A and B are shown apart, each in its own frame.
Chain A
Amino acid sequence: MNRKPNSYEGVALVSPVTIDYEKQSDKQAEWFIGRALAELLSDSGLKKEDVDGIALSSFTLAPDSAVSLTNYFSMTPRWLETIPLGGASGVVAMRRAARAIQAGDAEVVACIGGDTANAESFSTLIDNFSGFSSNAVHPYGAGGPNTVFSMITQHYMDKYDVKREDFARICMSQRDNALAASRSLFSKPLDLDSYLNARAIADPIYLFDCVMPCAGAEAFLLMSAERARSLSLPYVEIMASEELYNAYADDDIHYRGGWAMFRDNMYSSAGIGPEDVDLLHTYDDYPAIVMLQMEDLGFCEKGEAARFVQSTELTWNGGGLPHNTSGGQLSAGQAGAAGGFIGIVECIRQLTGQARGNAVENADIAVVSGYGMVIYDRCLSSNAAILKRGSA
Chain B
Amino acid sequence: MTDKLLPPEKRTAVWKTIDHAARQGQFVLPVCEQCDAIQYPPREICHNCLHDGLQWQEITSAGEIIASTALNASTSAFFREHLPHPVALIKLDAGPLVYAHLARTELKTGDRVELVNRCDINGRGVFIALSAGGTEVIQAESLRAMLSEQRTN
Contact = CB atoms under 8 A, between A and B. Distances in A.
Interface in A237-258: 252-253
Contact of A140 (B66, B84, B97, B99): B99
A143 interface: yes
B87 A140 contact: yes
A146 B84 CA distance: 13
A201 B40 contact: no
A275 interface: no
Interface stretch (B50-58, B71-79, B131-139): B71-79
Given A150-B69, A152-B67, A377-B89, A139 B126 contact: yes
B75 A123 contact: yes
A363 interface: no
Contacts of A151: 66-69, 88-89
B69 A142 contact: no
Contacts of A377: 89, 97, 99
B101 interface: yes
Given A141-B87, A376-B41, A377-B89, A147 B72 contact: no
Contact of A253 (B15, B41, B67, B71): B67
Q: List the 9 closest pairs (A to B, CB-CB), nearest first.
A: A151-B67, A142-B76, A123-B75, A136-B41, A150-B69, A141-B71, A143-B71, A141-B85, A142-B74
B2 interface: no
Interface in B12-42: 12, 15, 40-42
Nearest to A132: B41
B71 A146 contact: yes
B8 A139 contact: yes
B73 A201 contact: yes
B151 interface: no
B50 to A, nearest CB: 15
B75 A144 contact: yes
Contacts of A82: none
B15 to A, nearest CB: 6
Contacts of B100: 140
Looking at A143, A146, A152, the one whose CB has the most chain B CB atoms below 10 A away is A143
A235 to B, nearest CB: 42
B111 to A, nearest CB: 14
Instruction: Say whether chain A's binding surface is mostly helix, strand, loop, or mixed.
Output: mixed
B71 A202 contact: yes
A332 to B, nearest CB: 21
Looking at A127, A139, A147, the one whose CB has the most chain B CB atoms below 10 A away is A139
Contacts of A154: 67-69, 109
Interface in A122-158: 123, 126-127, 131-132, 134-144, 146-147, 150-152, 154-155, 158
Contacts of A202: 69-73
Interface string A335-347: 0000000000000
A149 to B, nearest CB: 9
B112 interface: no
26 contacts: A123-B75, A127-B75, A135-B11, A138-B8, A139-B124, A140-B87, A140-B99, A141-B74, A141-B76, A142-B75, A143-B71, A143-B75, A146-B73, A151-B67, A152-B67, A154-B67, A154-B68, A154-B109, A199-B72, A201-B72, A201-B73, A202-B70, A202-B71, A202-B73, A203-B70, A205-B69
Contacts of B76: 141-142
B41 A147 contact: no
Interface in B124-153: 124, 126, 142
Given A131-B12, A151-B89, A139 B69 contact: no
A1 B133 CA distance: 45
B29 to A, nearest CB: 11
A154 to B, nearest CB: 5
Nearest to A152: B67
Given A127-B8, A132-B41, A155-B66, 6 more contacts: A141-B85, A142-B74, A151-B69, A151-B88, A154-B68, A202-B71
B97 A252 contact: yes
Contact of A252 (B15, B66, B126): B66
Contacts of B109: 154-155, 158
A143 B83 CA distance: 11
Interface string A291-311: 000000000000000000000
